[in-house]
Amino acid sequence: MARGKAPALPTREQILDFIRQSPTPVGKREIARAFHLKGADKIPLKALLKELAESDEVDRGRKRRMAPPGSLPEVAVLVIDGPDADGDLLARPVSWASDDAPPRIEVAPERRGASAMAAGDRILARLSRTGADSYSARIIRQLVGQPSRIIGIFEKHPEGGGQLRPTDRRVKAEYRIMPPHTNGAEPGELVALEVLNTHRAGRLQGRVAERLGRFGEPKTISLIAIAEQEIPTRFTEEALTEARNAGPVTLGTRTDLRDMPLVTIDGEDARDFDDAVWATADDDPKNPGGWQVVVAIADVAHYVRPGSALDRAARDRGNSVYFPDRVVPMLPEELSNGWCSLKPNEDRGCLAVRMVFNLQGEKLSHRFYRGLMRSAARLTYNRMQAAIDGRPDELTAPLLEPVIKPLYGAFQALLAERERRGTLELDIPERRVVLDEQGQILKIAPRERLDSHKLIEEFMIAANVAAAETLELKHQPVMYRVHDQPDAAKVDALRESLKGLGLTLAKGQVLRPKMFTELLVKVRGTTYAAMIHDLVLRTQAQANYSPHNLGHFGLALSRYAHFTSPIRRYSDLLVHRALIDAHHFGDDGLPKDAEANFESLGQHISSTERRAAAAERDAMDRYAAAFLANREGQVFKGRINGVTRFGLFVTLEDTGASGLVPMGSLPDDWYDHDERAHALIGRRWGREYRLGEPVHLRLMQADAATGGLLLHIIEGEDAAAEPAPPRRADGGPGGRSDGRKPGGFAPPPRKPGGPKHKGPPRGAGKGPRKKSGKGPKRGKKKR
């Protein structure tokens, strides 16, 4: 018989395609097997693989196994980030040197329940690539390691000493505090615990490092968030001395803006005033209907010099952090509420930009000044809006014609330009906690969104764009505020969800923010509008700071930087210093080596921003739980904002508080998690709980220490009239007399073609178990 023809050596591109498509790194043996190469045919293959590795077209790891450039190793140490909105447990590499965001790593569910992992835990895992920038991780083992500091409530221990009740819901471990380590703490005190070694009984030990106050006192709610996020609260004596020695700015070579009636416009409870505005009709006959706008910002760079103690403190903090009862400022009060606050009728140094717009709101020109200004008035959003609506008061009446009306005229032009540009318009309600003089909670109410708020927002955006344009033109380093395009995989997932509703999102076109806005307008008023809004929000990338310009997708801007809040954001201080250098305004600009440090500095201030946001969010959760603590058993209206394998996350309508509806509390049925539909679907009776769906809920438990709410869904039109369930002797919510929960997670086997079943994390809801007892009553409607 004639021998068959030997297979041809694969091309360079064929090998690269095979390596890219493999979920794990591959070696010469796998490549040879895939292309049916044997014996002497492997010799040229070896040479070709060596050439690929030397040209950096592939990464060559342990045992000479190859993967696409930038790939993670086959086995890696990961740190747990926690579950996402769909309940998938996410992780990231423990060390990540790239400037780009790490890839998405989803931890496979097989052993989630056994390990009860919390954010910060470390695991050794085997990785498989599931997409261009995503991986699946199978846990090999959980690595030993505990946080060094934990916040909690000190409680007495029956054997002496104490124990800690952590305020972080993710901390599951129990900590024993031996008598010598209590530091005099009393039961009910909020403490910071330094974690020590494990004692012979196997439980963790700790030492009370700091006593923060008695839990239940108004001040402790914010203190928990501050301590857990390790936000710096004390300035060094050197920094305080520099702040105390600060004094007024003199005119010198500055532009005198004191005759310009600049006004500050802030909230009723604002504590610092770092921006002022003025507008007038442009008198240039070549610009009919046009406007001149001036935005003046406190000259923080004059007081905070590079390398000073104040500069080190501001850089370390990155930004101010705002709580209902206090501010943790980036700068000492002598500056933030003193020399850098644009108080009425007091001379203040400023950096200002004069911008000229045409009738359509397009910017024709701009110019920066280092000036001396004097605020004409301290206005609030409410007083400003009342004045333009025909209800001026003694302060705003004299300002209505010369100041307020021109501001609104310029705003209308800028608003028209925003609409033409096509920005992403998401409706994200904000709420505020109203406290009395003793710090007790009076109410939690939505923040109003007035045209006066939008006016200031548009003026600030315009000034920020002007700063970025100037620094690029002058070849200065720029700390951009970047908001990248949405991840393609997330957009595809959104398209799949829309398809089931008969909606489409154009494919193959350049993705633009107005496409999302048009979709939201289209579904407005429909039963699924809230769900689509949440899905669009989750599709968006997270904004951050970087010296590399990616544009700002949400604002539909090709370049953007933060210039308008140097009192409370270090990024803005960097932009001010760069502008000072660009215009030769003084010797207090950027240090010579600044640009070399911008990469790491952008990462740092992005992380401090996320830290501040987490602290503010955690504090709001605890304030809401404290406000609702005496309303357990009552029924509330809410909306499902998250669907997971272990239950539902729901936002209450009145307060904006969020809580968990455990899987085990859902009405009688077994429920499958349909990830694409963002729904839990009853297997037997067809009940559905979908993202964005309105529901009635009974509050079963509100824990002010952790900020957690436990909720149960109430069915039926008369849900609000149902009596509260009996409480158990231990204070927990009532249940069935036989101790069984009425609902549960559907056990395998699943229906052919049905959604994949995955068990919930331990502690989040009830795991799979055999269903017993009677099913739902006859006559209940399927939904």
pLDDT band at 694 (very low <50, low <70, confident <90, very high): very high
Query: How far is the C-alpha of 79 from the C-alpha of 102, rounded, in Å?
Result: 12
Give pLDDT, residue 767. Answer: 34
Dihedral (CA of 178, 180, 183, 186) sign: positive
The model's pLDDT over 591-600, given as tens digits with 9 standing for 90+, comes to 988 999 999 9
- Taking the CA of residue 691 as centre, how many other CA atoms within 13 Å lie in the half-sphere pointing to its CB? 26
Half-sphere exposure of 363 (CA within 13 A, CB side): 20
- pLDDT digit string (tens) for 234-249? 999 999 999 999 999 9
Cβ–Cβ under 8 Å, residues 224 and 326: no
Binned at pLDDT 50, 70 and 90, residue 109 comes out as: low
Give me the half-sphere count of Cα atoms (radius 13 Å) on the Cβ side of residue 589: 18
Range with lowest mean pLDDT among 191-195, 359-363, 382-386, 755-759: 755-759
CA 408, distance to chain mean position in Å, is 32
Over residues 334-366, the pLDDT tens digits come to 999 999 999 999 999 999 999 999 999 999 999
Residue 56's pLDDT is 64
**Per-residue model confidence (pLDDT) at position 86:** 61
Quote the pTM value: 0.75
Q: Looking at residue 114, what is its pLDDT?
A: 34
Q: Has residue 730 got a pLDDT over 50?
A: no
* The pLDDT of residue 70: 62
Q: Using CA atoms, how far apart are residues 343 and 273, in angstroms rounded to an integer?
A: 7
Contacts of 754 (CB under 8 A, 6+ apart): 672
Q: Are 332 and 240 in contact (CB under 8 A)?
A: yes
Residue-wise pLDDT for 143-156, tens only, equals: 655 567 889 999 99
SS (H, E, C) 606-635: HHHHHHHHHHHHHHHHHHHHHHHHHHCCCE
How high is the mean pLDDT of the chain?
83
Ranked by mean pLDDT, the top range of 62-76, 83-97, 672-686 is 672-686
Q: How many CB atoms lie within 10 A of CB 509?
A: 8
Q: How many angstroms separate the CA atoms of 666 and 141, rounded?
A: 33
How confident is the model over 256-289, as pLDDT tens digits?
Answer: 999 999 999 999 888 789 999 999 999 999 999 9
When mean pLDDT is compared over 40-49, 147-156, 451-460, the highest value belongs to 451-460
25-34, 176-185, 218-227, 518-527: least confident range = 25-34
**pLDDT (average), residues 421-443:** 90
User: Which pLDDT tens digit goes with each residue over 297-336?
Assistant: 999 999 999 999 999 999 999 999 999 999 999 999 999 9
Give the whole-angstrom CA distance, residue 382 versus residue 18.
63
Q: What are the C-alpha distances in Å from 306 to residues 112, 238, 240, 576?
A: 48, 15, 16, 12
The string of DSSP codes covering 126-152 is: EEEEEETTEEEEEEEEEEP---SEEEE
From residue 624, give the alpha-carbon distance in Å to each of 371, 416, 441: 44, 38, 9
pLDDT at 389 over 90: yes
Q: Are strands 175-177 and 204-214 parallel, antiparallel or unpaired?
A: parallel
In the predicted model, is pLDDT for residue 2 greater than 70?
no
pLDDT of res. 502 = 85
pLDDT for 255 equals 97
Q: What is the pLDDT of residues 739-748, one digit of tens each?
A: 323 333 333 3
Residue range 566-593: mean pLDDT, rounded = 96
3-state SS, 81-119, equals EEECCCCCEEEEECCCCCCCCCCEEEECHHHHHHHCCCC
Confidence at 718, pLDDT banded by 50, 70, 90:
very low
776 pLDDT tier (thresholds 50, 70, 90) = very low
